[in-house]
Structure 1
Amino acid sequence: MEPRLTDPFNRAIEYVRLSVTDRCDLRCTYCLPEGFRNFGEPEHWLTFDEIERVIRAFTELGVRRVRLTGGEPLTRRHLPELAARLGALPQLEDLSLSTNAVRLKKFAPALRQAGVRRVNVSLDSLRPERFAAITGGGKLDKVLAGLAAAKANGLQPVKINMVVMKDVNDDEIEDMVRYCIEQDFTLRLIETMPMGDTGRSASGHYLSLELVRQRLAEKFELLPAVMPGGGPARYVRVAGTELRIGFITPISQHFCATCNRVRLAADGVLYLCLGQDDKVELRPLLRQGADDAELKQALRAAIAHKPERHEFREQPQKIIRFMSQTGG
């Protein structure tokens, strides 16, 4: 058995966030600039064969969780086929999906059959007009239909990801809590991050989730809780219910000390930190005929350069790429 991937700060890498496309069918204000069209070319994306090969190498080095992301992953043609190929890898224990759910009604049955077990859905508002404003014209009813399909097909837990924005949607947090209680969903609240110009613009609406937690504690009894998964959320449970609320706080309380993940972009760039520029390009290696031993060596060499932490507070102008280019 090969030694598992461990970075210079003794963090075991067991989680890969796999972006299959940088394209999205929504235009969320904190993610993509209005009118943005400078997406990568599909011929530059890794093929399904190349993706499977990289993820297989990762699993043989100790990675146990993979999350399919984008952009919007369901815009990538034949995604359930890729999910089935990854789900069949013998050492992969958890295959999940992050989506805006616009297309989830159509794909939920095939994804479940392919081996996807759970989904995270971006949902920043339950008000149709506000949802459309945040997402650049998105239709809330399509997302709600996708959520219903996920539930009906046994994709669970369903986790709702709500980016909390001051003076934009922070007046809906309690409504979202009640909605998730009714639907038996998990709620994850996320602080805005200064990723690209759009993210920095949205950071003007930054709201510390510690303040949100204090506000929720005045209306609900919050008990300590945990949930399985490889992500960074810190959870509480609403007393008298099964609702877990996760707080993802990259700015107010960063979780870098326990970071166990890397991001593989659609074009084969391996990003070692969401908030740093450290990266390794795997596509040239794959297309120049590297064998499996050379691929694994490249992965080990990359992890050896994983930085200790991001610098969103100290250098908010540092990252110019958008979230959709990195993998959500």
Structure 2
Amino acid sequence: MQPRLVDDFGRAITYLRVSVTDRCNLRCGYCMAGEVSFSPRRDVLTIEELEFLTSAFVACGIRKVRITGGEPLVRKGVLHLFQGLSRHLRSGELDELCVTTNGVLLSKYARDLADCGVRRVNVSLDSLDRDRFAEITSGGDLDAVLKGIDAAREAGLAVKLNAVAQKGYIEGDVLDLIQFAQERQLDVSFIETMPLGEVKTSCADRYLPLAELRQLIEGRWTLTDIDVTTGGPARYARIDETGGRIGFITALSDCFCENCNRLRLSATGALYTCLGHDDFTDLRAIIRREGGAVGLESAIRAAVAGKPRSHEFGTSPGREPALKRYMSALGG
């Protein structure tokens, strides 16, 4: 296979996000509707199929793989996927294998993830207030998440916190989240709400431009923009007083699509080249038909060539929902 994936706009595609399930053990209002329908079991890729497809992307030139969900750690046998993909780290074909999780099961899996070559984990954490956390997650246990963060750190994993900047919630939590991260030498990123799915929490009602959140933060700390990337869309600033880092993911207010290097593979084998478009390529059909991988590489390259220039969210949350697909289907 050729060593690189490049789209028609000259962007090198090096980062694959792999959703292993659309199920989750939390019900965050911005991510999943209360009565969401999950994919039928027969349509979900097996662990072996997920490994096969991910390996095909690595052979095409993908250098970073992030395992997502839903909540990836609820997927039965998910450690076998990490174990299988770790061979690409050992061979040097893959630079990084990482995971995004809500942290509820992280205390159980942190050591095993580290043994598989995972070095970084993103943990979704929107509040340190137990009552507010339970409200946002529909009854989630904050203590389980905090225990997972501690276990990850003890296992030697670098932890980054992700918080969705919901207006009416984040303003009361942002300073505590940053202080929590600074005390533990963790990065923290704030993410603008995106108009995906008919969820319980309206994007239009909860949308807060991160420029406004940054002003609130700068009432306490001095921020200096820095030219640092971790391979994703966050733009980072340094806290001058502590040396810590804060990331801002401005999906609506300051589009970063011109530098997009990402693809997304759903748990059902749908390849999305853009989070903000509904078009996808059905890779499950290719690998399950007679002949297996025949046509797989060409399908991947054709999809990458047709990657859109930009998402269709617009610059405001007025069109809502922009897409019917829930955030939980692809892990953001």
The answer to whether residue 31 in structure 2 is matched with residue 31 in structure 1 is yes
Quick one: which amino acid aligns to residue 236 of structure 1? A
Match for 1:61: what amino acid?
Answer: C
> What SS class does the counterpart of residue 196 from structure 1 fall into?
coil
What is residue 145 of structure 2 aligned with on the other side? 143
Who is 1:43 aligned against?
42
SS of structure 2 residue aligned to 1:88 = helix
Deviates more, 1:69-78 or 1:192-201: 192-201
The secondary structure found in structure 2 opposite 1:197 is coil
Q: How far 1:116 sits from its partner (Å)? A: 1.3
CA distance in 1, matches of 2:121, 2:188: 12
Q: Which residue of 1 aligns with 2:264?
A: 263
* Corresponding residue for residue 66 of structure 2: 67
> What is the alpha-carbon distance in structure 2 between the residues aligned to residue 270 and residue 183 of structure 1?
36
Deviations 1:7-63 (A, max 9, x none): 111111100000000000000010111233x10122211122211221122112111
Tell me how far 1:120 sits from its aligned partner: 0.4
Quote the Cα distance in structure 1 between the aligned partners of 2:228 and 2:35.
Answer: 38
Q: Give me the whole-angstrom Cα distance separating, in 2, the residues matched to 1:227 and 1:42.
A: 40
Give the distance between the partners of 1:242 and 1:84, measured in 2 at CA. 35
Partner-residue secondary structure (3-state), 2:163:
strand
The letter for the 2-side match of 1:29 is: G
For structure 1, the residue ranges without an aligned partner over 5 or more in a row are none
CA distance in 2, matches of 1:229, 1:289: 40
Equivalent residue for 1:116? 118
Matches within 5 A, 1:88-127: 88-89=87-88, 90=91, 91-127=93-129
- Which stretch of the first structure deviates more once superposed, 214-223 or 298-307? 214-223
Give the match for residue 78 of structure 1.
77
Task: Give the Cα–Cα distance (whole angstroms) in 1 for the partners of residues 140 and 270 of structure 2.
Answer: 29
- Aligned partner of residue 142 in structure 1, secondary structure: helix
Partner in structure 2 of residue 318 of structure 1: 322
Alpha-carbon distance between aligned partners in 2 of 1:274 and 1:186, rounded to the nearest angstrom: 24
- Alpha carbons 2:29, 2:201 under 8 Å: kept: no
Distance 1:262 1:49, change over 3 A: same
Cα separation, 2, equivalents of 1:85 and 1:258: 30
Q: Report the Cα distance in structure 1 between the residues aligned to 2:228 and 2:83, rounded to whole angstroms.
A: 25
Tell me the alpha carbon deviations over residues 246-304 of structure 1, each in whole angstroms, 9 at most, x when there is no partner: 00000000110000001000000011111111210100100013454621111001111
Alignment-derived partner of residue 162 in structure 1: 163
Q: 1:228 to 1:169 in 2, by over 3 A?
A: closer
Distance in 1 between the 2:322 and 2:152 partners? 37
After the TM superposition, which of the residue ranges 199-208 and 304-313 deviates more from structure 2? 199-208
User: 1:163 and 1:318, CA in 2 relative to 1: closer, same or farther beyond 3 A?
Assistant: closer
Counterpart residue identity of residue 140, structure 2 = G
Kindly report the root-mean-square deviation, in angstroms, between the aligned alpha carbons of the 2 structures: 1.5
Shift of 1:77: 1.1
Instruction: Look up the equivalent residue of 1:222 and give its one-letter code.
Output: L
- Residue aligned with 1:235, SS: strand
| Aligned-pair CA distance for 1:199 | 7.4
Query: Secondary structure of the residue that 2:173 maps to in structure 1?
Result: helix
Q: 1 CA distance for matches of 2:33 and 2:312?
A: 22
Q: How many Å apart are 1:318 and its aligned residue? A: 3.3
The aligned amino acid for 1:248 is: I
Which amino acid is the alignment partner of residue 326 of structure 2? F
1:100–1:121 CA contact under 8 A, matched in 2: yes
1:309 equivalent in structure 2: 310
Where in structure 2 are there 5+ consecutive unaligned residues?
none
Q: Which amino acid aligns with 2:217?
A: L
Contact 2:270 2:280 (C-alpha < 8 Å) held by counterparts: yes
Structure 1's 177 and 228: CA in aligned 2 closer, same or farther, altered over 3 A?
same
* Structure 1 residue 214 displacement after superposition: 2.2
Conserved 8 A contact 2:68-2:330 = no
Q: Please name the residue that 2:298 is paired with.
A: 297
User: What secondary structure is seen at the aligned counterpart in 1 of 2:199?
Assistant: helix
Give the ranges of 4+ consecutive aligned residues of structure 1 lying more than 6 Å apart after TM superposition.
none
Q: Which amino acid is 2:151 matched to?
A: A
Whether the 8 Å CA contact 1:81–1:114 is kept in 2: the answer is no
Conserved? CA contact 2:286–2:293, under 8 Å: no
Q: Post-superposition shift, 1:317?
A: 3.5
Relative to structure 1, the CA distance from residue 148 to residue 192 in structure 2 (aligned partners, 3 Å threshold; closer, same or farther) is same
TM-score (norm 2): 0.94
